[in-house]
Amino acid sequence: MTSTRLAELQRAIRESIEAGTLRGALCWEQGSNAFRSRPLVIRTVADASAAIFSPACSPSLVRFLIEDNRYPMSPEEDRRPLGIVLRGCDDRGVIELIKEHQKRREELMIFGVDCRGTVDWTKVRKLLRKGMLSSDDLDHGTLAWKEDDIVLFTADGKERVLDRKSVLLDKCLICEGHTPRIFDVMIGEEDKNRKGMPVIDDIESLERKSTEERWEFWQSEFSRCIRCYACRNICTYCSCEECAIDPRTQAISDKSLARDKANRPQWIGQDSMLPSNTFYLLTRAYHGAGRCTTCEECDRTCPMGLSLRLLNRKVRKDVKRLFEYEAGRSTDDGPLYGESREEDPGDFIW
C-alpha cells in the first residue's frame, strides 16, 4: 500500500470515529520488527495515526469479532457498529460469521483494502539465517507494496524487491482476490477480477497414499501437538463459548452452574499424548466442515509446525465434492449444517 493509500485508510477511520458512528475500529499497528504487525483497536482520533497496512499485516483480524462477543471491546449499551479492516481473504470468515449469527452485517463497518500478500515470519527467519536479510532490516526497514512487488526500504535508504515466494504466506501465492467482496468503504480500487476460491491440489499426493501411510503421517504430526489451543483460539469458526473437546475451557462461561461443570463428562484428556491429540485435532477438523474458510491462520499460528492446513483443505475439498458448498463463498447459501436438500448424498452415513 502506498503512503497515500495508508493516509486514505487512516482518514476514513478517523472520520468515522470523529463522527461518532463507530464504537471502535480494528486495524493493525507496527509490531516487534519491520516484518511483524499486531492488532490495534482504534477508539480515538489519535489512535488512528498508529494504524498501518503493509505486507507485515499477516494476522487476520476476523477472530476479534468473536473475541468482541466474548470479551466486549466496548460497554454493552454501546450498540454502534464496530469497524474492521478486511483484506481479500478475510471476507470469507466474516461471511460465515454472519451466516452463523455471530455478527449481523449492520453491526460491522467494513473498510476494504487492497492486499497484495503478507509476510510469513518463518520464511523471514530462513532469510535471516541465510544472511539474505539482516538485523538492520528488522530494526530499521519498512515494508510496502508496489503493485505486486514486496518492497523493503532499507535503513540506508535503498529499495529492495523481495521474492514473493520466499517471503509471503503460502496462501498469498494462490490469492483469490485482493479486495473483499463485502465492504462499506473501499480504500483504493475494488479487485474486479476475483478468481473465486483457489483450487488447491497439494492434498492429492497425500490422498494417493495408503491408509496406513496416511495414518502414520498424521500420527507423526499429531504427536508434536502441545495442546496450546492456538489453532482454536485464532480460528474464525471456533465461536463456541464452551469447547466440548477442550477440558480446560469447557467451563469457560460463568453462566454454567457448578453442578453442570462437575457433572460434565470429559470427552478427552487434557494431556498432550497421542490419543488425546488425535481426538482433539480430528474433532476440530470435522467440526469445521463447511465452516472452515481455509484462512490458514491455524497453520500460521501453530508453534509446533503441524500441517493443519492439509487437514482443513481435505475437509473443504470433500465438502465441496459432496455438497457443492464452500464456506465463505457467498452470503446467499448455507450454512452447510443449516440446510438439507433432497439430492444431498447420504450413502456415507450408512
What is the amino acid identity at position 64?
F
CB of 336 to another protein, least distance (A): 25
The answer to whether residue 71 forms part of the interface with another protein (CB under 8 A) is: yes
CB of 271 to another protein, least distance (A): 4
The answer to whether residue 122 forms part of the interface with another protein (CB under 8 A) is: yes
The answer to whether residue 254 forms part of the interface with another protein (CB under 8 A) is: yes
Residues binding another protein: number (CB under 8 A): 59
Please, which of residues 303-332 interact with another protein by CB under 8 A?
Answer: 303-307
Nearest to 337, CA basis, from 349, 348, 325: 325
Residue whose entry in the numeric block shows the C-alpha cell 488512528: 48
> Of 283 and 301, which CB lies nearer to another protein in the complex structure?
301
Crossing angle of the two packed helices 274-287 and 211-222, in degrees rounded to 10: 110
What strands, in cross-sheet order, belong to the sheet with 142-146?
Answer: 142-146, 149-153, 159-162
The answer to whether residue 130 forms part of the interface with another protein (CB under 8 A) is: no
Residue whose entry in the numeric block shows the C-alpha cell 460463568: 254
Looking at 32-40, 161-169, 195-203, 323-331, which segment touches another protein (CB under 8 A)? Answer: 32-40
CB of 128 to another protein, least distance (A): 6
The answer to whether residue 220 forms part of the interface with another protein (CB under 8 A) is: yes
What is the amino acid identity at position 53?
F
CA distances 271 to 122, 188, 227, 234, 266, Å, are: 27, 49, 8, 21, 12
The answer to whether residue 272 forms part of the interface with another protein (CB under 8 A) is: yes
The answer to whether residue 132 forms part of the interface with another protein (CB under 8 A) is: no
The answer to whether residue 248 forms part of the interface with another protein (CB under 8 A) is: yes
Looking at 65-73, 101-109, 156-164, 316-324, which segment touches another protein (CB under 8 A)? Answer: 65-73
Residues sharing a CB contact under 8 Å with residue 103, sequence separation 6 or more, in sequence order: 65, 69, 94, 97
Are 3 and 63 contacting, i.e. CB atoms less than 8 angstroms apart?
no
The answer to whether residue 226 forms part of the interface with another protein (CB under 8 A) is: yes
CB of 254 to another protein, least distance (A): 5
- What letters, b where the CB count within 10 A reaches 16 and e where it falls short, cover 2-12? eeebbebbbeb
Element (H, E) at 42: strand 37-42
Residues that bind another protein (CB under 8 A): 31-33, 36-41, 59, 63, 67, 71, 73, 121-122, 125, 128-129, 135, 138-139, 220-221, 224, 226-230, 232-234, 247-252, 254, 256-258, 261-262, 266, 269-273, 297, 300-301, 303-307
